[in-house]
Homo-oligomer: A and B are copies of this chain.
Amino acid sequence: MQTSTRDRIVVATARLLQRQGYVGTGIKQIAKESQATLGSIYHFFPGGKEAVAVAAIRHSGREFAALLKDSLDRQPEPSEAVLSCTRELAAGLRESGWVDGCPVTAAALETLGADSELQKACAEALNGWERLVLDKLLGCGFPADDARELATTVISAIEGAEVTAQVNRSEEPLLAAGRQLARLIRSYGIDAARR
């Protein structure tokens, strides 16, 4: 067998969570989409729906982290890196028909009240991404305080711009955010050449 049943369940759930959120995604839909049966799902995830969702969110978190790290490593200049990242996201969004947005936002917003395992998984994913940006900025010589605040803002802005882009079915908000974030980063006057 190419991919294990467990992996199929996680991947399918990740995509469903991204598109319809946690409450909007049913266990039976996961079963159908992943070509697994209820028996298999509850075999691998005795914790039920939430356990599946947690695994899926963690998967998505790692996946986007890899994409982000790629952008950050490829471009020496952090402003350029953010720009190229938003361009990639915009392209992906358009190609998916504006449905494949941030893989954790939808699920995160639905589980804010209760401090569930799922909520923690979403927070960890977000913070992991932020840390990648933070490390890049620190590595480029940004002072710690500025870097921290910038990293938070960059992730938040990309997050929000992706939602805006989805709602308006347009790449523009994401691209605009990329350009403005690049400008903001440049405004600190620290470039790679200076190091």
Chain A residues at the B interface, C-beta cutoff of 8 Å: 19-21, 23-24, 98-99, 101, 105-106, 108-110, 112-113, 119, 122-123, 126-127, 148-150, 152-153, 155-164, 166-168, 172-173, 176-177, 179-181, 183-184, 187
Contact = CB atoms under 8 A, between A and B. Distances in A.
Given A152-B177, A187-B187, A105 B23 contact: no
A175 to B, nearest CB: 9
Given A126-B168, A152-B172, A176-B153, A163 B24 contact: no
Nearest to A175: B149
Given A105-B109, A110-B21, A163-B156, A123 B177 contact: no
B167 A108 contact: yes
A153 B172 CA distance: 10
A109 B101 contact: yes
A163 B109 contact: yes
A174 B172 CA distance: 23
A181 B19 CA distance: 29
Contacts of A156: 157, 160-161, 163-164, 173, 176-177
B187 A122 contact: no
6 contacts: A109-B166, A112-B167, A122-B167, A152-B172, A152-B177, A160-B162
Nearest to A113: B99
A143 to B, nearest CB: 14
Contacts of A24: 23, 110
Contacts of A161: 152-153, 156-157, 160
